[in-house]
Structure 1
Amino acid sequence: MGAAPDAGQLMAMILKLLNAKKTIEVGVFTGYSLLLTALTIPHDGRIIAIDPDIKSYEIGLPFIKKAGVEHKIDFIESPALPVLDKILEDPTNEGTFDFAFIDADKNNYWNYHERLIKLVKIGGIVAYDNTLWGGMVALPEKLVPEPKREWRLSTLAFNKAISNDSRVEIAFVSIGDGVIFCRRVC
C-alpha cells in the first residue's frame, strides 16, 4: 500500500529540481515516500508528516533511523485536516512549503488541496497518489466492485476538479497507481 517505486523515483527527481527543503506529507503509512523525501532533501530540510496511525509509521521507523534522516521528520499522529488548519492559523506559514505529497483518504483530497494550495509556494508542487484508483476510474461503474465504488467516485470528482483549478498546472502521470503533480501558479 505504499507509493510505487517508479512514482518515488520521479518524486525524488522533482524534489531535487525544486531544491525542496520544506515539505509536507499527508498519509504516511509505513513511510516509504517519507524516507525517500528525507533522503532527497538537504540535511537541514524539514518534513511535516501527518497520519492518524502511528503503528504503521513505526514499522518503517527503523529504516528511517538507519538512514540517519529521522531529525528531518516531524511526525504528527492525527487526522490531517485539523493539523493543516492549525498550520494555516499562522499566516506566516502560507506559501512556505516547497512540496507536498498526499496519499491518504481519497474522499478528502479536495479538502487537502484547498489547504495545501495556500501552504505551498508559487512554483511549488503538490502530488496526489492513487489518482487512477487501480484503473477503476476508466471503468463503467457496473464493472467496479461495490466496495470500491465510493472511492472511485471520490477519485473521479477530484480528478475533474483539479483539472479545472486555474491555480495549478497539472501533469497526470500514469505511473504506479496514477499520480497528479500540481504546480502552483498563483
Structure 2
Amino acid sequence: MIVDEKIEAYSAAHSSPLPPLLDALAERTRAETTAPQMMVGRLEGNVLRMLVSLTGAKRVVEIGTFTGYSALCMANALPADGELVTCEIEEKHASIARDFFDKSPDGSKIRLRMGPAIETLRGLPEQAFDLVFIDADKEAYPAYYEESMRILRHGGLIVADNVLWSGRVLAPGDASSRAIVAFNERVRTDDRVEQVLLTVRDGMMLARKK
C-alpha cells in the first residue's frame, strides 16, 4: 500500500459496510497466513463490489483467490443467477476460502478452480465474461491479460491489482517490478481498450474492452 494508512482508514470508514463475515475472514487470514497483506481489504473490496454492480456483471473471473475476500466482495454484488470463477494454486489458501464460501449466502455463486490459472483461463469460452480481476503472480500478468481479453465480452472490464507495486514501478529493480511496468505499458498502448490507473491501495488498473 502506498497511500498513508490514516487516509486509507478514513476512506474505508466513509465507505459502505461489507458483510460482517468478511471481518472474520480477515482475522483468520492474518492469523493463519504468512502474507496477509495479499488480501485486498475493506476499501479495495468495496471498489470491486461497486465495479461489479456498476457494470451489471453476471459472470466474473478472478485470477488469484488467496483466502477469498475479494471473491466474496464481488459475489455480493452479483445477481442470484450470477457466477464467479476464481483460480487458486495454493491448497492452504483455498481451504480457508472454501470455509468462508460455505458460510456465506453468496458462496453458491462462486466456483473455485484449483491449478495454474493460465490453464483454467484457456479452458474458458471466448467473450463469455463481463469482468476479470487479476491479482496473482506478477510476472504472469501479460499472459493473464491476453487470456482475459479473449474471454471478456466487448464492453467488459479488466481490473488488475498491485500495478504501482509499492512505488517500485518508478525504479524497477527486480523481475516482478519489471513485469508490472511491462504490463502497465502493454495496457497503455493497447488500442483494444480504454484504461485508467487508480492510486487506490497499491494501484488498480481498469481497462475496458472496446
Give the TM-score normalised by structure 1: 0.88
Q: Which amino acid in 2 is paired with 1:27? A: G
Return 5+ residue gaps in structure 2 as ranges.
1-37
Query: 2:199, 2:177 → 1: CA distance?
Result: 16
Superimposed CA distance per residue, residues 22-73 of structure 1 (whole angstroms, 9 cap, x where no aligned partner): 0100001011100101111011111111111132022133332222222111
1:119-130 equivalences in 2 (<5 Å): 119-130=151-162
How many angstroms does 1:104 deviate by? 0.4
Where do 4+ consecutive residues of structure 1 move more than 4 Å?
Answer: none
- SS at structure 2 position matched to 1:74: strand
Bigger shift: residues 55-64 or 35-44:
55-64
Q: Distance in 2 between matches of 1:49 and 1:60?
A: 10
Kindly state the Cα deviation for residue 158 of structure 1 after the two structures are TM-superposed. Answer: 0.8
Superimposed CA distance per residue, residues 65-112 of structure 1 (whole angstroms, 9 cap, x where no aligned partner): 22222211111111111111122xxxxx21120111010011111101
| Aligned twin of 1:26 | 63
Query: What CA distance in whole angstroms lies between the structure 2 residues aligned with 1:126 and 1:5?
Result: 20
Work out whether residues 163 and 204 of structure 2, in 8 Å CA contact, stay in contact via their aligned partners in 1: yes
Find 1:118's aligned residue among 134, 150, 163: 150
Asked if 2 retains the 8 angstrom alpha-carbon contact of 1:5 and 1:176, the reply is: no
RMSD of the TM alignment (CA)? 1.3
Paired letter, 1:109:
Y
Question: Is 1:4–1:177's contact at 8 Å kept on the other side of the alignment?
Answer: no
Amino acid paired to 2:81: D
Distance change in 2, residues 1:107/1:156 (3 Å): same
Percent same amino acid among aligned pairs?
A: 33
Does 1:101 pair with 2:138? no
- State the distance in 1 between where 2:121 and 2:191 align: 22
Measured in 1, the distance between the counterparts of 2:154 and 2:200 equals: 25
Q: Hey, what's the Cα distance between the residues in 2 that align with 1:25 and 1:85?
A: 14
Q: Which has the higher contact order (CA 8 A, sep 6+)?
A: 1
Offset of 1:183 from its aligned partner? 0.4
Aligned equivalents of 1:40 and 1:57: distance in 2? 21
TM-score w.r.t. length of structure 2: 0.79
Q: 1:11 offset after TM fit, Å?
A: 1.5
